[in-house]
């Protein structure tokens, strides 16, 4: 009790954040590489990301989900089991998705980690067998989502906010997934997994000159290409407040979401102030929404808010689940 009666200590000075200045270079195929040398720990991390514009998949919504599920399951040179076993042996973490890859581990294994990551990213084993397995897994997840109030609410929220023809308004369904073929997945990979808009970020206990030599060897033959840039009209604010209902009679709880379109950019002067304001409002267990609706009134297990801020249009969402 005495500890609870003590006044909250005043915050100390803000810590100094020293972000290393990256060394940069660009390969002939357009891949941009950023290297930050940091010898504080004997570790290294690699991240490759495609900075492609969002695109709609229409009646084949799910093709990028299938690519994300399949890529990294072995390569054209290494079987799936051998691929995963070597990653485990190195004690590394290597992950892949439809628009990038990442790898991290001890710096003494840095060369092999990047070799495995490059092989998995540039030579994926996209087979019909893996396609069928991953499709079945996704469909099982979709069936579970149909009974999930938060999942249904998220689908409806995105359609209402962005429109069903906008990339952010589309949602995956079993019907659209059944329209996707292995050929579609391979075409998506060849179209969008390209170096023209790609960045490779390397941070850790490495030397830039060594990284440059290895990157040129592993990624130099990556076929040059730039993903298509399709533009979409940004959604507009509604002219008046709208209330939309989805009836789920067997639901134990109801999901309540308040949503509005935002156009917050990282370059805006108010960017960090806006993120801080959202953190105070509903960023976690100390947020005002949580403290009011749960701690004070006991109406919910939690209430939160979030706001998107990037180069494309986003939204502000405040949500909670109640009986």
Average pLDDT over all residues of the chain: 93
Q: Model pTM?
A: 0.88
25 — pLDDT class (breaks 50, 70, 90): very high
Q: Which CATH superfamily is domain 254-322 in?
A: Metalloenzyme, LuxS/M16 peptidase-like (3.30.830.10)
State pLDDT tens for residues 44-70: 999 999 999 999 999 999 999 999 999
**103 vs 12: which has the higher pLDDT:** 103
CA distance 136 to 116: 27
Q: What is the pLDDT at residue 235?
A: 87
Architecture of domain 23-219: 2-Layer Sandwich (3.30)
Least confident range from 35-39, 80-84, 215-219, 238-242: namely 238-242
76 — pLDDT class (breaks 50, 70, 90): very high
Residue given tokens 């407040």 in the structure block: 241
State pLDDT tens for residues 104-127: 999 999 999 999 999 999 999 999
Q: Is the pLDDT of residue 207 over 70?
A: yes
30 backbone φψ class: left, alpha, beta (φ>0; ψ -120 to 50): left
Q: What is the pLDDT at residue 152?
A: 93
Mean pLDDT across the stretch 182-196? Answer: 97
19 — pLDDT class (breaks 50, 70, 90): confident
Q: Is the pLDDT of residue 4 over 70?
A: no
CA distance 312 to 323: 35
Q: What is the pLDDT at residue 3?
A: 54
**62 vs 12: which has the higher pLDDT:** 62
**317 vs 19: which has the higher pLDDT:** 317
State pLDDT tens for residues 224-239: 999 998 888 888 877 8
**200 vs 236: which has the higher pLDDT:** 200
**259 vs 311: which has the higher pLDDT:** 259
CA distance 50 to 47: 10
Q: What is the pLDDT at residue 20?
A: 82
Least confident range from 53-67, 84-98, 240-254: namely 240-254
State pLDDT tens for residues 139-162: 999 999 998 999 999 999 999 999
Q: Where are the domains of the chain?
A: 23-219, 254-322
C-alpha distances (whole Å) from 177 to each of 14, 187, 316 are 49, 15, 29
Report the percent of the chain where pLDDT is more than 70: 98
Q: What is the pLDDT at residue 233?
A: 86
CA distance 85 to 79: 10
Q: Name the E strands within 127-237.
A: 198-204
Bridge partners of residue 46, in order along the sequence:
103, 202
Residue given tokens 């060369």 in the structure block: 111
Kindly report the number of other CB atoms within 10 A of residue 170's CB atom.
Answer: 22
Kindly report the number of other CB atoms within 10 A of residue 69's CB atom.
Answer: 21
CA distance 174 to 66: 12
C-alpha distances (whole Å) from 139 to each of 62, 65, 68, 146, 184 are 11, 11, 15, 11, 18
Does 254-322 match 23-219 at the fold level?
yes
């Amino acid at each position: 009790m005495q500890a609870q009666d003590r006044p909250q200590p005043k915050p100390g000075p803000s810590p100094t954040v020293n972000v290393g200045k990256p060394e940069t270079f660009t390969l002939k195929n357009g891949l941009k590489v950023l290297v930050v040398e940091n010898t504080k720990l004997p570790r290294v991390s690699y991240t490759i990301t495609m900075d492609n514009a969002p695109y709609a998949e229409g009646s084949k919504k799910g093709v990028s989900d299938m690519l994300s599920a399949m890529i990294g399951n072995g390569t054209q040179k290494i079987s799936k089991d051998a691929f995963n076993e070597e990653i485990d042996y190195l004690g590394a973490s290597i992950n892949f998705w439809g628009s990038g890859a990442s790898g991290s581990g001890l710096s003494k294994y840095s060369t092999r980690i990047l070799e495995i990551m490059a092989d998995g990213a540039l030579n994926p084993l996209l087979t019909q067998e893996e396609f069928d397995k991953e499709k079945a897994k996704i469909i099982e997840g979709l069936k579970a989502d149909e009974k999930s109030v938060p999942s249904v609410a998220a689908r409806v929220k995105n359609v209402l906010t962005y429109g069903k023809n906008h990339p952010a308004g589309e949602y995956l369904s079993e019907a659209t997934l059944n329209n996707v073929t292995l050929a579609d997945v391979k075409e998506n990979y060849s179209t969008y997994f390209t170096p023209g808009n790609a960045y490779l970020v390397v941070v850790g206990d490495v030397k830039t000159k060594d990284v440059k030599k290895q990157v040129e060897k592993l990624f130099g033959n990556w076929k040059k290409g730039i993903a298509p840039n399709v533009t979409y009209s940004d959604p507009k604010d509604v002219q008046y407040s709208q209330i939309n209902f989805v009836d789920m009679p067997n639901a134990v709880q109801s999901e309540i979401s308040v949503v509005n379109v935002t156009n917050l950019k990282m370059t805006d002067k108010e960017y960090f102030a806006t993120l801080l304001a959202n953190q105070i409002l509903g960023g976690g267990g100390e947020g005002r929404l949580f403290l009011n609706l749960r701690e004070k009134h006991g109406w919910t297990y939690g209430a939160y808010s979030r706001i998107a801020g990037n180069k494309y249009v986003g939204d502000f969402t405040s949500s909670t689940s109640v009986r």
